[in-house]
Amino acid sequence: MMIEIQANDRLGKKIRVKCLPTDTIGDLKKVLGAQIGTPYEKIILRKGHQIYKDHITLDDYEVHDGFNFELYYG
């Protein structure tokens, strides 16, 4: 089952992507990078004080449908 996730870069850009709960944060960054034209290595996903690590799955982080990430550039 696909879930839809939103990333907001706080500069007015909101990106929505569909992915699987079994995808890793790194996979999500690759999709986001392709959509916004930024190398995925430079993307940092956060929520509050938590920085999400590339090798952990969305399911392990309990990311659900409609989840909203804060998108930063490193």
The sheet that has 68-73: what strands, in order across it?
14-19, 3-8, 68-73, 43-47, 50-51
CATH of the domain at 15: 3.10.20.90
Structural domain tally of the chain?
Answer: 1
pTM (2 decimals)?
0.92
Q: Look at residue 29 in the predicted model and tell me its pLDDT.
A: 97
> Per residue of the chain (74 residues), what is the pLDDT tens digit?
899 999 998 888 899 999 999 999 999 999 999 999 999 999 999 999 999 999 999 999 999 999 999 999 99
The range of the structural domain enclosing residue 36 comes to 3-73
The length of the chain in residues reads: 74
